[in-house]
Structure 1
Amino acid sequence: MIKLPVLDYIQHMINNTLTPEMCTHMQYPTPISQMLGITITEIGPGTATLQIDTSKEKHSNQQGTIHGGLLSELADAAIGTAHSTFIGEGESFTSIDLKINFYRPVFDAVLTAKASPLQKGKTISHYMCEIFRSDGKRVAMSTSTVMTLTGDKARGR
């Protein structure tokens, strides 16, 4: 097996150049992203862009707009993917908080979430994620605090 850093693995995943012997210490694509149809479209050190093609039939709330929980999951997935590019073998991380503001409704649209660090620390990092509709309009913005875990705190995660 060829064990790659998360960033390199995801770059191969995006470029469709993964080979069967390539692996990383984290699980990509994640099961929740596979179930929801979220894909990673761009990756860089501490940054990630994810997309989902939403529809009222699959993702709406009682008013017929795309559910805010799905937007929250998309932001959380983008932030987690961005932060995972900094995580080495034997390390893990967890979200401390996630705050999201909704700006306009979404109906049927491809949503794009762009996450980047506001502040990268050794243990505590802060991220921002903006979510855009297909027409380029911002629909939501999220911030999150992420804690990197090492040693005993990372074991078994």
Structure 2
Amino acid sequence: MSTTGFSRDLLIGLSGEEYMRRMLDGRIAAPQMWATSNITLSDVAQGQITLHTAPLPAHGNIIGTVHGGWYGIVLDAAMGCACMSCVPEGATHTTLEYKVNIVRPAKIGAELIATGHVQHSGRSTLVANGEVRGRDDNRLYATGSTTCIVLQH
């Protein structure tokens, strides 16, 4: 039973981790932006998320390298989902702020892994960090950090 978009009804009876696990197994659809950004959820644990991705030609900038905004989308997804995996039943979260540092440019088509790790999970805020690394060579391409607010529904 897959859905086409987010509905608060999806949260009924689910913790954030359970919600993310249902996304992993396909019972809840990933955000449409993930298809546009070529992101796939590959692992879920409480406070930790792994995504697989590869920048497409559409993610290039005016000089042919990967656009900085694409790294922001990927890292926001990884860190935000890590935060989601820590929220209690019936709650969600949203990003308050995030920061991205691009260490080296990835090539279009490069197979990459993005991870998100929660550093602090409180009643009202969450703090997480993330990395984008090469799938085959483990080289670091970008890092990020975020602060999210917990939303009680």
TM-score normalized with structure 2 length: 0.80
- Is 1:62 equivalent to 2:72 in the alignment? no
Q: 1:52-91 residue pairs with structure 2 within 5 A?
A: 52-55=53-56, 57-91=57-91
Shift >6 Å, 4+ stretches: none
Unmatched segments (≥5 aa) in structure 1? none
On the 8 A contact 1:102/1:139 being kept in 2, the answer is: yes
Alignment correspondent of 2:139: 137
Give me the whole-angstrom Cα distance separating, in 2, the residues matched to 1:95 and 1:10: 17
Deviation at 1:34, TM superposition (A): 2.5
Give me the whole-angstrom Cα distance separating, in 1, the residues matched to 2:93 and 2:19: 18
Give me the whole-angstrom Cα distance separating, in 2, the residues matched to 1:13 and 1:79: 16
On the 8 A contact 2:16/2:92 being kept in 1, the answer is: no
- Is 1:11 equivalent to 2:18 in the alignment? no
Identity, % of aligned pairs?
27
**Any idea what the Cα deviations from partners look like across 1:7-52, whole Å, max 9, x if unmatched?**
33543553x5x5xxx5xxxx64112113322111111001101121
On the 8 A contact 1:46/1:116 being kept in 2, the answer is: yes
Counterparts in 2 of 1:83 and 1:138: CA distance versus 1, 3 Å: same
Which one-letter code corresponds to 1:94 in the other structure?
T
Give me the whole-angstrom Cα distance separating, in 2, the residues matched to 1:74 and 1:68: 10
Deviation at 1:124, TM superposition (A): 1.4
Give me the whole-angstrom Cα distance separating, in 1, the residues matched to 2:76 and 2:67: 15
**Any idea what the Cα deviations from partners look like across 1:98-141, whole Å, max 9, x if unmatched?**
01111101113012111001222111121100111232110111
On the 8 A contact 2:16/2:89 being kept in 1, the answer is: no
Unmatched segments (≥5 aa) in structure 2? 2-11
Alignment correspondent of 1:106: 106
Structure 2 counterpart SS, 1:35: helix
For the pair shown, the structure with the greater C-alpha radius of gyration is 1
Counterparts in 2 of 1:40 and 1:149: CA distance versus 1, 3 Å: same
Deviation at 1:6, TM superposition (A): 4.2
What RMSD over aligned residues (CA atoms) do the two structures have, in Å?
A: 2.3
Give me the whole-angstrom Cα distance separating, in 1, the residues matched to 2:128 and 2:147: 6
Which one-letter code corresponds to 1:42 in the other structure?
D
Give me the whole-angstrom Cα distance separating, in 2, the residues matched to 1:10 and 1:125: 16
On the 8 A contact 2:116/2:130 being kept in 1, the answer is: yes
- Is 1:126 equivalent to 2:127 in the alignment? yes
TM-score normalized with structure 1 length: 0.78
